[in-house]
């Protein structure tokens, strides 16, 4: 053991046998470093959220104000750009920066609400499957397999096709379709916790199943759920954007990063900025959420395999 370098970080991806090394110098250092990255990411995310929340006060223009005379104006630093529209304007002369600030509202709200929905469904089903096992377990896990076989995008497309495109429908689709990942992880963890002594003790004391599940098992799952949910917010934001990009999500003129990108695509021949900046916003948001999620995982539970 003494000769091998700390392997905890590397093994986290694949290994079955994970080596616990309390105070293993280099690994701890790397974890601390990642934590710092996570904190930085959380700071940026906070800024993005604040910008979206305070949009009416900080956006320089009305995101819906059309100004045909200034249509397709380039960003300020290019020829023909002006400080009036820092990131330029779109095809009907709306200020791109203002639309991006407002667009964050929809994306973030959709992401968080959908994740709360799918986490609730997934955790409940996962608890049921893991705690009761047997036929309930088999049914739920089969459902999980079916759902995981289906590409999420395809399912979302099919459902939106029937329900019709709108913000609410999209959130429902993303919320209802996203549960399997929680169910699978929660089930596996529950299976392990169920066998622990304190659960046995609870049974012996005559605790009800509900009480055991919610008072003894769930508290042990919080960190796992928080980590998955954080990472899922990023996934959902990307999917939401894609649906809106196709015109199947948030409908214009309401600004959302996805539908701005979709509109910008038509004009990419001459006006690259319309598609570029909303995409950058999605990219940056996803990136900081992922960094934060990874740091959170290291902090809460370095052994977590996700």
Partner 1 sequence: MRRYITRQLLQLVVVVFGISVLAFAILHVLGDPVLLLLPQNAGKEEFERYRHLLGLDRPLYVQYWKFVSRAVLGDFGKSWYADTPAFALVIERMPPTIYLTFAGLVVALLISLPLGILAALKRHSWLDTLCTAVAVAGQAAPLFWLGIMMIIVFSVRLRLLPASGYGTWQNFLMPAFCLGAALAPITMRLVRSGVIEVLNMEFIKTARAKGLAEPTVVIKHAFRNVCIPVVTVLGLQFGQLLGGAIITETVFAWPGVATLTVEAIRNQDFPVVQCAVILLALLIVAVNLVVDVIVGLIDPRIHAA
Q: Rule CB under 8 A: is residue 163 a binding residue for partner 1?
A: yes
Nearer to partner 1, 2 or 269 (CB): 269
Supply the DSSP symbol for 17: S
Q: Rule CB under 8 A: is residue 151 a binding residue for partner 1?
A: yes
Q: Rule CB under 8 A: is residue 196 a binding residue for partner 1?
A: no
Residue of 30, 27, 101 whose CA lies nearest to 61: 101
Q: Rule CB under 8 A: is residue 161 a binding residue for partner 1?
A: yes
Nearer to partner 1, 48 or 217 (CB): 48
Nearer to partner 1, 53 or 266 (CB): 266
Cα angle 152-276-90, degrees, rounded to a multiple of 5: 110
The full DSSP string for 88-135 is: -B-TT--BHHHHHHHHHHHHHHHHHHHHHHHHHHHHHHHHHHHHH-HH
The sign of the torsion formed by the CA atoms of 154, 165, 287, 188 equals negative
Residue of 257, 112, 228, 256 whose CA lies nearest to 175: 112
- Segment near partner 1 (CB under 8 A); pick from 72-80, 187-195, 221-229, 235-243: 235-243
Structure-token match 């916003």, residue found: 281
One of 78, 265, 300, 303 touching partner 1 (CB under 8 A): 265
One of 61, 133, 150, 220 touching partner 1 (CB under 8 A): 150
- Contact set with partner 1 (CB under 8 A): 4, 7, 10-15, 142-143, 145-146, 148-155, 157-163, 234, 238, 241-242, 245-248, 261, 264-265, 268-269, 272, 275-276, 279, 282-283, 286-287, 290-291
């Amino acid at each position: 053991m003494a000769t091998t370098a700390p392997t905890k970080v590397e093994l986290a991806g694949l290994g079955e046998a994970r080596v616990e090394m309390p105070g293993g110098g280099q690994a701890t250092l790397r974890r601390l470093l990642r934590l710092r990255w996570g904190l930085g990411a959380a700071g940026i995310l906070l800024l993005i959220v604040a910008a979206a929340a305070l949009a009416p006060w900080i956006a320089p223009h009305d995101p819906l104000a059309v100004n045909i005379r200034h249509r397709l104006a380039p960003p300020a630093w290019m020829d023909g750009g002006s400080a009036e529209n820092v990131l330029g304007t779109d095809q009907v002369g709306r200020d791109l920066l203002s639309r991006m600030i407002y667009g964050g509202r929809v994306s973030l709200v959709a992401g968080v609400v959908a994740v709360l929905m799918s986490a609730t469904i997934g955790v409940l089903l996962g608890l049921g499957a893991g705690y009761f096992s047997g036929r309930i377990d088999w049914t739920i896990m089969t459902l999980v397999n079916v759902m995981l076989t289906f590409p999420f995008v395809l399912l979302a497309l099919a459902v939106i096709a029937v329900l019709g495109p709108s913000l609410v429908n999209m959130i429902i689709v993303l919320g209802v379709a996203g549960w399997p990942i929680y169910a699978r992880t929660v089930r596996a963890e529950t299976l392990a916790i169920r066998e622990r002594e304190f659960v046995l003790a609870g049974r012996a004391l005559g605790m009800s199943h509900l009480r055991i599940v919610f008072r003894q098992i769930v508290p042990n799952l919080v960190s796992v759920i928080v980590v998955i949910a954080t990472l899922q917010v990023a996934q959902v934001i990307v999917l939401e954007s894609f649906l809106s990009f196709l015109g199947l999500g948030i409908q214009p003129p309401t600004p959302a990063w996805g539908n701005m990108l979709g509109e910008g695509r038509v004009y990419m021949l001459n006006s690259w900025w319309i598609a570029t900046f909303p995409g950058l916003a999605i990219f940056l948001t996803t990136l900081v959420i992922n960094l934060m999620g990874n740091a959170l995982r290291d902090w809460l539970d370095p052994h977590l395999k996700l």
